[in-house]
Chain A
């Protein structure tokens, strides 16, 4: 087996592939951005929008929409159980991976990320439109949540106590506790700074080529994670501030490198750094 190959390449498509499948009714393009207005300024023809805050989050609790709300969402977007959903977005596909993760959580089977995301599509001069498409509603049936890809705090604590691998994908300044929030976001975040004891710091964007937003090669990715002791033989938990950046790392480990057991801790530092009586390392 060639080592320089993604483990599950079928979960990644190139912009060329997407351009060739714009009219394919078995495919639904979904744009998921950090900026909530970017889709409205122009998107790939036929693409629908999910906003990670107003669409995917529960309106009241700190949680995601539930299984039934997810079914309603898919029906509204014209996604049926056998639709292939292709995600793309801004910021190196950061929020595309977040949406992908939630779709995987509710058991959707056919999922892909468009390599390079929105920035690469635009840089290649490919078409954008402002037309908002509508699709006939579907009878979508979601599966119960797949907790094998989502970690909750008690589990993270046990994981830490057993000295199992944890990846903190935030910036080095957040990891060190120098900052309580993302650079540039004052007053955002947690009561305490630092990281979960034992976590290694691998900032999420290191998995991406900055010039064109595409994922780095399998060899580069493997070296990046293995050099920090992150190997496929153990269960791994990744976290960041609210679980969005770490969903990109989760995607890389699970689908591009084929690590069998990877979880995203979406509570992340905004939960851990506010919890009473949990260990913190600086």
Chain B
């Protein structure tokens, strides 16, 4: 993904990615940690709707994704355990970068978001795959938002 294609992204997400792109590896990790600490808690009314997070065996971090829909705009909330700060950081980037966007804006996000962030040099391939899975999941939710009546969709990933 080139810097040019950042123009298809929602402005806040493009801004975050640009900041990552300009940082050295150490700076990227520091940024990711800052994001991890800024992940918003799941609002109670959404959490009440959620089932038990799906616990995947082995080392997969259980991630729960909640979508809130209001007047055609989406917000995403994530349940990620505190002992998985890398995933929390990534979730917070998506949360802030996709705050009040439309479903179509979500669907336009390129799959190789991570290469623009320069994360491939600091994260292992399997972790990047985990991040790709979260993005793919959000896109499925956005597709649902286009077809289903407005509601909150808590889902387990």
Contacts and interface: CB of A to CB of B under 8 A. Distances in A.
Are these two chains actual partners, yes or no? yes
B83 interface: yes
Q: DSSP majority for the B interface?
A: helix
A183 B84 contact: no
Interface string A156-191: 000000000000001100000000011111111000
A182 B87 CA distance: 17
B43 interface: no
B123 interface: yes
A94 interface: yes
A188 B132 CA distance: 12
B54 to A, nearest CB: 9
A39 to B, nearest CB: 9
A35 interface: yes
Given A53-B123, A184-B58, 7 more contacts: A36-B29, A41-B33, A119-B83, A171-B58, A183-B57, A183-B60, A186-B133
A31 interface: no
B29 A37 contact: yes
A38 B57 contact: no
Interface in B85-141: 85-87, 89, 122-127, 129-130, 132-133
Given A53-B124, A188-B126, A188-B129, A35 B58 contact: no
A266 interface: no
B84 A35 contact: yes
B92 to A, nearest CB: 12
Nearest to B122: A54
A171 B58 CA distance: 7
A40 interface: yes
Interface centre among A90, A171, A181, A186 (most CB of B within 10 A): A186
Contact of A184 (B29, B32, B125, B133): B133
Interface in A1-56: 34-38, 40-41, 53-54
